Amino acid sequence: MLFSGNLIKLNSQYLVPVKYILKSSNQSLIINDLIGQRVKISFNGTINCIHCARKMRKSYGQGYCFSCFQTVPQASPSIVRPELDQSHLGISRDMEWAKKNSLVDHYVYLAISSSLKVGITRYTQIPTRWIDQGASKAIRIAKVPYRQISGLLEVELKKNFADKTNWRKMLSNNIDNGINLLDERDKAHKLLKKANFSDYLIDDQVTEITYPILNYPEKVSSVNLDKTPEIEARLEGVKGQYLIFEGGQVLNIRKHNGYYVDISVVK
């Protein structure tokens, strides 16, 4: 057995191509080493909360039990909607956590994952956030001193830019190649100036990201471990937080945070 434990968002290293590692408290599996091999993943029916480890039937917010989902700062509504963050006013589920994670520099960025999108992230999460989303190119366009402001800029830009990734297109490498990120950055800067956010604008180089993939599938179908507890197929690669198998089956690891699995190579 190569790994026996709870799934958790893949750790990544920004190399060419990206190196992906599945880590638990006492195991570390380099996923890149499995590419090209027949891999078996079996879910044994147990799901543990990624915060308190309690056994549960169903997870909320990508890996939490209902109680943690309602109380831990990592699952607060401002994670998805940063403009709602109130930690700069001293209001948070956990002010100590907020001081380290919300009341710190954040970046607003543009990225190409399937097509162009806008997003925000904490300064420590560059380029991790882009890798998690499967972006092929990205550029930072603004730097702000805390989370809520990044949300305000994003809300402004969402009037003209998308903020979602089409994961089917991203995984089949159906990418809009006609986009010039520097031109788009200039457009975004103009919009932000008009909205009185001039103070936060920054210049940056475009970052390019290459993923470890042998073959892209033409069509993808998402595997749900609740319905299909066992996968056995040749691993073709990894992009974003998805394992891509031959035939176009894809497994979103992050969506299965806390699921207890055994992973092995079938000879």
Interface residues with Zn ion (CB under 5 A)? 49, 51-52, 54, 65, 68
Are 155 and 85 in contact, with CB atoms under 8 Å apart?
A: no
CB-wise, 33 or 94, nearer to Zn ion?
94
CB-wise, 61 or 212, nearer to Zn ion?
61
Both tokens of 70, joined, read 């309602």
DSSP 213: B
CB-wise, 115 or 257, nearer to Zn ion?
257
CB-wise, 54 or 234, nearer to Zn ion?
54
Beta strands in the chain (DSSP E): 3-6, 11-13, 19-23, 28-30, 38-48, 55-56, 106-112, 116-122, 137-144, 207-208, 221-222, 230-239, 242-245, 249-252, 259-265
Beta strands in 25-170 (DSSP E): 28-30, 38-48, 55-56, 106-112, 116-122, 137-144
Compute the least distance from the CB of residue 207 to Zn ion, in Å. Answer: 35
Compute the least distance from the CB of residue 94 to Zn ion, in Å. Answer: 14
Phi, psi torsion values for 192, nearest 5 degrees: -70, -35
Compute the least distance from the CB of residue 5 to Zn ion, in Å. Answer: 17
Closest CA to 121 of 104, 97, 96: 104
Compute the least distance from the CB of residue 60 to Zn ion, in Å. Answer: 9
> What is the rounded distance in angstroms from the CA atom of residue 196 to the CA atom of residue 207?
27
Are 166 and 114 in contact, with CB atoms under 8 Å apart?
A: yes
Compute the least distance from the CB of residue 65 to Zn ion, in Å. Answer: 3
Question: What does each C-alpha distance from 40 to 55, 137, 235, 250, 266 come to in angstroms?
Answer: 24, 32, 9, 13, 7
CB-wise, 53 or 179, nearer to Zn ion?
53
CB-wise, 79 or 152, nearer to Zn ion?
79
Compute the least distance from the CB of residue 55 to Zn ion, in Å. Answer: 10
Compute the least distance from the CB of residue 80 to Zn ion, in Å. Answer: 19
CB-wise, 62 or 86, nearer to Zn ion?
62
DSSP 9: -
DSSP β-bridge partners for residue 107: 121, 143
Compute the least distance from the CB of residue 73 to Zn ion, in Å. Answer: 13
CB-wise, 49 or 213, nearer to Zn ion?
49
Of the chain, the end-to-end C-alpha distance in Å amounts to 12
